[in-house]
Amino acid sequence: MQATLLSILGLALLGTLHAQDSIPVQTDFQQDKLTGRWYSIGLASNSNWFKEKKHLMKMCTTIISTTAEGNLEVTSTYPKGDECVTRNSLYIKTEQPGRFSYTSPRWGSKHNIHVVETNYEEYALVATQISKSTGSSTMVLLYSRTKELSPERLEMFTQFSREQGLTDDEILILPQTDKCMADAA
């Protein structure tokens, strides 16, 4: 019985590790080219907070900079009601270029972040596996250097999100807004 339980736990752990490894990372990732201003164009997630807040979400601005230690400082500014809210996150580099980790100080959730694909000048596709005590979820973000992207890039985001197991009602092309865009430093 104990051996069977250990086998099941081992397979579950192996499945979890395989799921994290199955998310690709940009080949020959160049971190310095990812820095600067980005607009969030698409967001997909199977998390409860996304399902609850999806109808309120709008495009936001994200500024990415590199710290002296080689980590990424990610500052996002987005509209929330009549205010502009700014969130700062520190993505810690891992041994694999293009992959980062982040622990939310607010929720304690652990984020395994993959820069899946980018051409640095137009778009970036980022996938995150999130784990916390209540379970795990997947989030996919599509960033653009401008407020619009081609239908082909939007379709690439939608298709990749589906490949991560997300359904069409968990995939959102964020509505454009001018609110809080100038507030992002």
Q: What is the set of active-site residues?
A: 60
Distances (CA, A) of 107 to 47, 101, 143, 167: 13, 15, 24, 25
For the CA atoms of 104, 108, 110, 111, the dihedral, rounded to the nearest 10 degrees, stands at: -30
Count other C-beta atoms under 10 Å from residue 131's C-beta: 14
Distances (CA, A) of 2 to 6, 9, 13, 39, 77: 6, 11, 16, 51, 50
Residues 113 and 115: their CA atoms lie apart, in Å, by 7
Residues 100 and 30: their CA atoms lie apart, in Å, by 13
Residue 130 is given by DSSP the state E
